[in-house]
Amino acid sequence: MSSAAAKPILYSYFRSSCSWRVRIALSLKGISYDLVPVNLLKDGGQQFSAEFKAVNPMQQVPALKIDGITLSQSLAIIHYLEDTHPNPRLLPQDLKKRAQVRMIADHIVSGIQPLQNLSILKQMGEKKMEWAQNCIASGFQALEQLLHHTAGRYCVGDEVSMADLCLVPQVFNAERFKVDMGPYPTITRINKALLELEAFKVSHPSRQPDTPAELQV
């Protein structure tokens, strides 16, 4: 079997929100793959191994080996999957809605998630919980307002989009860091609707091969 025809390999950590986005996309598009767990905490962080650095020099998950190339950065991966497996589509055909999807996705992946990422929290010491809560709450206040203009059943209208793939893992992080979700009813409603979909269930951190037994559902 040539490398281009080989089954995709996803390097993932069960609780990584960036990895979860890609797992949702692969599931929605019906792409079967092999998973290689990269434990971000064990052995000082397996992402820092020479072996994984050869896969992704940024030493972050996810990384996806597919069609003979290796891709990192979750949105770059999802865009490639969208280009090569256009159904079901994750970017609306309507250009204004498409721009709104990208806006919301970028708001989360650039404006919220990196500020509460593991590498930042390690440097915050005892203040890491408070820091994460403040970063997420600040981002969610803006996101809640944006969604008032764009949301239907999901983030933009009534079709699942790339924005939704970013929203659900970020709400999971918010709940992990005990953020009060009371002020964000739209985010909460959309998240609940998305978690009813099979692709979001099978990709959930509680159902991964590397999920610790005590966190499995």
Torsion-angle region of 18 (φ positive above 0: left; ψ -120 to 50: alpha; else: beta): alpha
Pick the CATH number of 10-87 from 2.30.42.10, 3.40.50.2300, 3.40.30.10, 3.40.50.1220: 3.40.30.10
Statement: the pTM of the whole predicted model exceeds 0.75: yes
The whole-number pLDDT of residue 2 equals 53
How confident is the model at residue 84, as a pLDDT?
98
Higher-confidence residue: 185 or 111? 185
In the chain, domain spans: 10-87, 95-200
- Residues 39-70 have pLDDT tens digits of 887 877 878 888 888 877 888 899 999 999 99
CATH number of the 95-200 domain: 1.20.1050.10
pLDDT tens for residues 110-137? 989 867 666 777 777 788 888 889 999 9
- What is 148-172 written as a DSSP string? HHHBSSSSSBTS--HHHHHHHHHHH
Peptide bond just before 62 cis, omega within 30 deg: yes
Which amino acid type is present at position 192? K
Query: Tell me: the pLDDT tens digits for 83-103?
Result: 999 999 999 999 999 999 999
Residues 6 or more apart whose CB falls under 8 angstroms from that of 74 comprise: 18, 19, 21, 22, 62, 109
The token duo for 23 is 């797992």
Token pair in block for residue 140: 């969610």
Q: What is the pLDDT of residue 114?
A: 63
d(CA 169, CA 128): 19
What per-residue confidence (pLDDT) applies to 133? 92
Alpha carbons 154 and 133: distance in angstroms, whole number: 24
- The whole-number pLDDT of residue 18 equals 94
